A and B are shown apart, each in its own frame.
Chain A
């Protein structure tokens, strides 16, 4: 949506949007950096105030948030609306699982392999798509088809254990090198928060960097950007590489936290949807949109499940049925897209700008 709405830039770039040569702040995006610090502080404290089951939900928020942040770099800042981010999530997840289970190495090695592979895959497929000038619906189809083709490929590959998937073997005790801790340990959360903070920092640095500025220019008007001498293809590919690498981090964290992955979890269309919906509800093209979206969307299924455990008498027949959580999720998506097309953070930012 940002491709046609140049006003939906990152929340921190308000000076650029007033159209006046306002005095530049000393540090670009100072507010964003402060907020990252805030995320780290809140993140550090959270396990002391929340129960173990609440922390399980919080960890899912982390996974959604990292996926959304990754998707947002490509779609929100790069203007390429991907419907197949499950591909990069899945590459991250499978690279980690394969490294840990088959090669017996540390998941951190798997993380690096996953990031490199995801970025390479993203650049490869996007190079083809952009080289052949796929736009609109055709571009959407190519991203969607790439994720599906990967799922089918993994399902048919013996070394990747076909449809069975990987289970990470349980080790004794805590291990930072092995990224494994006893069930319910807050270390998963703390490490995840640091990973999220790093992904956010990368996004913020990117948006305020020279290549990032050029990428935004390309997103808003690629013909004008090209006329100014900006290498359109290269800047789009840089955004894709960063986006894919960040999304693969979410895949790695998923595997280490749930200790299991299979082709449908890793590459299924619902995984792509989660990445998109998180960012869209929060606000595409804003640094903090995906985080806000994750906080709203990720706990939904648990909230609905909790609600159905003790339903009001009128809704008694719903007890024990599944599907309601996704229906709520779908309704929120449709409402946000229809009524707040800029997402929550995008709408708030637009309001503040008007005042």
Chain B
């Protein structure tokens, strides 16, 4: 939890660290206990251990993907205080870029990362520099409306360019494998692993490099950062670029098991919001935990209430968390 962006972590290091950590571990413990109870109930409802195991494994793996998609969102919120409504559309755009790389250029889907991530970084940086930087001092709604406009433009640009028909990307050698008695596609395991690697890289970048320190400084106190000679506008551009790049990486990694449609982004947006709020907005490792919780909630709710959409349970959890712990379950307590 050391890579919490300063936006949610303004306490000085040292004396107060210990009680805060115990608070966090307590929350983690409670969350784990709740999930355990829910899992037992779900297991009883399903009446079979195999079904429960399958749900748990699928939940964790899907949760990793949710974290990955939410990573860009939480980074951008932490530094720029903008909810990027276009995050899901950026994932959709990355899916189509992957499709081009695989179908027209004959690349292996994961090799497309090398192309898609820099392209998405450039796009994100460009959007921030041209559209959002001029309105960073305006009220928050203005920036939200611009990202909504971007989301609509990207989504419908994809519709215009590729048409509404669903597409897919095939991963060579994508077979089902046994994990703890559950069957999962290999591509989902790779995506989960990729998510962990990217979270680790982002955390390293934020924590161990000079530019990461600058990003955290701007997140904590933009005015102070400016006074010590940090170019805030450049940091904003960089951060939005990194956020878009995370969305791009997510797009590539989920492409082998996702139906590629212009509206795919909207589906990702919803879960990503929940993950970000659960994890504490601006908290990068929090997003990882939040993603796992959402993935598990979704799968277990599917077992407990088979007639309702599993996402409904996720949203009920979301609203409860918003009201009870608006700084996020794993964020710093308010």
Binding site for B on A (CB under 8 A): 1, 3-5, 81, 83, 128-129, 131-134, 136-138, 140-142, 144-146, 148-149, 152-153, 155-156, 158, 269, 273, 276-277, 280, 318, 321-327, 329-331, 333-334, 337-338, 341
Contact = CB atoms under 8 A, between A and B. Distances in A.
A137 B142 contact: no
Interface of B: 77, 81, 83, 131, 134-135, 138-142, 144-146, 148-150, 152-153, 155-160, 163-164, 262, 266, 270, 273-274, 277, 281, 307-309, 311-312, 315-316, 318-319, 322-324, 326
A246 to B, nearest CB: 20
Nearest to B270: A148
Given A137-B81, A323-B156, A327-B156, A132 B323 contact: yes
Contacts of A148: 270, 315
Sorted from nearest, which 3 A-B pairs have the closest CB atoms? A323-B159, A323-B156, A330-B152
Contact of A327 (B152, B266, B273, B274): B152
A329 B83 contact: no
Contacts of B163: 321
Nearest to A83: B144
A337 B145 contact: yes
A241 B158 CA distance: 38
B232 to A, nearest CB: 19
Contacts of B312: 149, 152-153, 156
Nearest to B312: A152
Contact of A334 (B149, B157, B274): B149
Contact of B142 (A134, A140, A341): A341
B273 A1 contact: no
Nearest to B158: A323
Given A140-B144, A145-B319, A156 B152 contact: no
Nearest to A155: B309
B147 to A, nearest CB: 10
Given A137-B77, A149-B315, A322-B164, A128 B273 contact: no
B315 to A, nearest CB: 4
Contacts of A334: 131, 145-146, 149-150, 153
Contacts of A133: 326
Nearest to A325: B156
A25 to B, nearest CB: 31
B323 A128 contact: yes
A327 B139 contact: no
A149 B316 CA distance: 7
B156 A137 contact: no
Of the listed residues A128, A273, A327, the one surrounded by the most CB atoms of chain B closer than 10 A to its CB is: A327
Nearest to A322: B159
Contacts of A146: 319
A330 B150 contact: yes
Given A149-B319, A273-B148, A334-B149, A140 B83 contact: yes
Contacts of A322: 159-160, 164
Contacts of A83: 144
B145 A329 contact: no
A81 B141 contact: yes
B83 A337 contact: no
Contacts of A277: 145
Of the listed residues A134, A323, A331, the one surrounded by the most CB atoms of chain B closer than 10 A to its CB is: A323
Contacts of A324: 156, 160
A338 B323 contact: no
A195 B262 CA distance: 36
Given A83-B144, A326-B156, A152 B309 contact: yes
A296 to B, nearest CB: 15
A338 to B, nearest CB: 6
